[in-house]
Structure 1
Amino acid sequence: MKFGTKAIHAGVEPDPSTGAVMTPIFQTSTYAQTSPGRHKGYEYSRTHNPTRTVAQRNIAALENGKFAFCFATGMAATDTVVKLLKPGDEVVATNDLYGGTYRLFTKVYEAYGIRFKFVNMHDLENIRAAITDQTRLLWLETPTNPLLKVIDIAGAVAIAKERNVMVAVDNTFATPYLQTPLDLGVDIVMHSLTKYMAGHSDVVMGSLVVNDEKLAERIAFLQNSVGATPGPQDCFLLLRGIKTLHLRMQRHCENARVIAEYLRSHPKVGQVYWPGLEDHPGHAIAKKQMRDFGGMVSFVLKNDDLEEAKRVMESIELFTLAESLGGVESICTHPASMTHASIPKEEREKNGLKDSLIRLSVGVEDVEDLVEDLKQAIG
């Protein structure tokens, strides 16, 4: 089954009780039992809900996985992965990653005795050098947030497996439309479903997808025990959004190419970050492991002036100045003060994230209008 067909049909069937084509919103907390302990697969909605079940089956199919689990947020999904570890364990993570993930790792779990190392994974030898006998998890983002670095997933997996280290990939920026990390040997795929998967800036959700049955059992236990699960309304909205994922992602990628090339040619713009540009350091790897290059573009002005960058962001009209990404509408974000403010300034700058960096989530509007908006804002 091809991707677009899976997005619409995989794991989704007409409701057997009514014939409803769209999965109903099962707005219930509990379910009748025929006798104590005997039920039709559902007993309490923290554990299972029919709307969530369909959403999980759909996500698993898109990622070419066997088991998927939905959570109330992407951070709840990430939190569940760390809960697979114990005090004394070590995590090697990419040094260019979402600020919320960095905050969870360093401000929450370091206090519980889990250690974190952040390395530049563009050079795979940095991964090899960072892994010790205590390393239990390799955490990747690719493309990374917000510098759009590309990590060789298969290469990272090969190094991790030499030391029996579990590998998790945050696939939020790419979505399974562009890459399927499980096919490259990854153990866990994480999504902030809030972004491209739902696609309409009206849902906050996360997910984990795995193939290993024992790992799935551990995640299911944590999902139920901790209880950070989404409601059926959010699952319904996610399913609705996923039905157009392939159409939206194609347009996001097409528009991002035009925007990236326009910015690269602008006399006032300096560095442009988009993996589809042939001079991008990760272009060859992206071309090998991705089916297109995504809808995220970051850039800095040639003068690298923060106040001028602020003026540009305050002057834009079609690009909404906001946090988050991946919606049908274009969004402009200032990572240093918004999505990555929890990372200390010295750490951000060491990793190449300048205070003047502007991140664009390129939407699906007519791209000519988006170019005109940038033209008038940059001047």
Structure 2
Amino acid sequence: MKFATKAIHAGQEPDPSTGAVMTPIYQTSTYWQKSPGEHQGFEYSRGTNPTRRALESCLAALENTTYGLAFSSGMAATDAVMKLLRAGDEVITGNDLYGGSYRIFTKIFAQYGIKFHFVDLSDPHRVQDYINDNTKLIWIETPTNPTMQIIDIAAVAAIAKANKVLLAVDNTFASPYLQNPKDLGADIVMHSVTKYLGGHSDVVMGALMLDDEDLYKRLWFIYNSCGATPGPMDSFLVLRGIKTLHLRMKAHCENGRRIAQFLKTHPQVGKVYWPGFEDHPNHEVAKKQMRDFGGMISFTVKDAGLEKTFKVASSFKVFSLAESLGGVESLINHPATMTHASIPKETREQAGVTDNLLRLSVGVEDIDDLLEDLETALKL
């Protein structure tokens, strides 16, 4: 089954009681049992709900995995993976990382005795330098947030497998339409479903997709026991959003390409971070493991301090100054004070997250309106 067909149909069948084509919102917390333990696969909606189950089957199909688990947020999904670990375990991760991931690693799980190594993974062989008997997990983003570093998933996966270490890939920026980490050797694929999968900035959710049955059972135990699971309305909204994922991603990529090219030659712009440029670090890796280069772009305002950067960021009319990404509407974000504010300034700047860096989530509006909005804001 091709991607567009999976996006519309995977995991979903006509409702057996009514014939409804769209998966119903099963707004219930509990389920009738004929006798104790004799039920139809549903007992209590923290653990399983028919609407959520349909979504999880669809998510698994999109990432070419056997299992899917939906969580109440991307951070809840990340939290579940970290709960596979024990005191003394070590994790290798990137030095350019979503601020929420950095925060949960350093402020929550580090205090339980888990050690994190933040490494420049643009050269995957650096992973080997940090592997020891205590290494249990490699956690990567690619493209990274916000400087769009490209990490060779297949190369890291080979090292992970050779050392019997789990590899989890945060695939939020690419979406399953552009990249499938499981097919490149990842053990776990993570998504902030809030972003491209939901696609309309109206739901918060996370997900894990994987193949290994034993690992799935361990994660499902955490998922059910800790209870960070989404309700049926959110599951319905994401199922509806996914039906247009392939159409939206094409438009995000087309608009993203035009805007990246515009910024590249603009006199008020310094660096532009977009993996579609031939001079972008690891561009050839991006070409190999991605189907297109997406709608996420970061750039620096040339010779600007914080005041001028704030003024530019606040001057847009079509782009909205806001957290998050991946919706149909275009957003602009100032990572240093918004999404990555939890990372110490020195650490941020070493990864390129400077005070004059702005991140764009390019939406699907008319490209001429987006370009005009950028031109007007950058004239300040």
TM-score, L = length of structure 1: 0.99
| 2:86 matches 1:76 | no
- Letter aligned with residue 118 of structure 1: F
d(CA) in 1 for partners of 2:155, 2:36:
51
Residue 124 of structure 1 aligns to a residue whose secondary structure is: coil
Q: Shift in Å at residue 26 of structure 1?
A: 0.3
Corresponding position of 1:196: 196
The answer on whether the counterparts of 2:309 and 2:355 sit within 8 Å (CA) in structure 1 is: no
Cα-to-partner distance string for 1:42-90 (whole Å, 9 max, x where unaligned): 0100110000000000000000000000000000000000000111000
Residue 60 of structure 2 aligns to a residue whose secondary structure is: helix
- Letter aligned with residue 376 of structure 1: T
- Letter aligned with residue 109 of structure 1: F
d(CA) in 2 for partners of 1:31, 1:160:
42
Deviates further, 299-308 or 315-324: 299-308
Corresponding position of 1:132: 132
d(CA) in 2 for partners of 1:67, 1:117:
29
- Letter aligned with residue 347 of structure 1: T
Residue 125 of structure 2 aligns to a residue whose secondary structure is: helix
Q: Percent identity?
A: 64
d(CA) in 2 for partners of 1:371, 1:82:
41
Runs of 4 or more above 6 Å deviation: none
Q: Shift in Å at residue 309 of structure 1?
A: 1.2
Q: Shift in Å at residue 8 of structure 1?
A: 0.2
Unaligned runs of 5+ in 2: none
Corresponding position of 2:210: 210
d(CA) in 2 for partners of 1:76, 1:340:
18
Q: Shift in Å at residue 131 of structure 1?
A: 1.4
d(CA) in 2 for partners of 1:48, 1:301:
48
d(CA) in 1 for partners of 2:182, 2:123:
21
- Letter aligned with residue 356 of structure 2: S
TM-score, L = length of structure 2: 0.99
Q: How does 1:242-261 map to 2 (within 5 A)?
A: 242-261=242-261
- Letter aligned with residue 205 of structure 2: M
d(CA) in 2 for partners of 1:281, 1:86:
35
| 2:272 matches 1:272 | yes
Corresponding position of 2:67: 67
d(CA) in 1 for partners of 2:143, 2:355:
20
Q: Shift in Å at residue 143 of structure 1?
A: 0.3
Corresponding position of 1:170: 170
Corresponding position of 1:324: 324
| Alpha-carbon RMSD | 0.6
Cα-to-partner distance string for 1:191-221 (whole Å, 9 max, x where unaligned): 0000000000000000000000100111111
- Letter aligned with residue 112 of structure 1: Y
**Count of aligned residue pairs for this structure pair:** 379
Corresponding position of 2:156: 156
Q: How does 1:10-89 map to 2 (within 5 A)?
A: 10-89=10-89
d(CA) in 2 for partners of 1:335, 1:173:
15
Corresponding position of 1:340: 340
Q: How does 1:112-123 map to 2 (within 5 A)?
A: 112-123=112-123
Corresponding position of 1:143: 143
Q: Shift in Å at residue 124 of structure 1?
A: 1.4
d(CA) in 1 for partners of 2:257, 2:108:
38
Q: Shift in Å at residue 159 of structure 1?
A: 1.1
d(CA) in 2 for partners of 1:247, 1:304:
37
d(CA) in 1 for partners of 2:108, 2:305:
34
d(CA) in 1 for partners of 2:310, 2:203:
28
d(CA) in 2 for partners of 1:277, 1:323:
25
| 2:297 matches 1:292 | no
Q: Shift in Å at residue 306 of structure 1?
A: 2.2
d(CA) in 1 for partners of 2:351, 2:98:
12
Q: Shift in Å at residue 304 of structure 1?
A: 3.8
d(CA) in 1 for partners of 2:164, 2:135:
9
Q: Shift in Å at residue 160 of structure 1?
A: 1.3
Q: Shift in Å at residue 245 of structure 1?
A: 0.2
Q: Shift in Å at residue 125 of structure 1?
A: 2.2
d(CA) in 2 for partners of 1:341, 1:204:
20
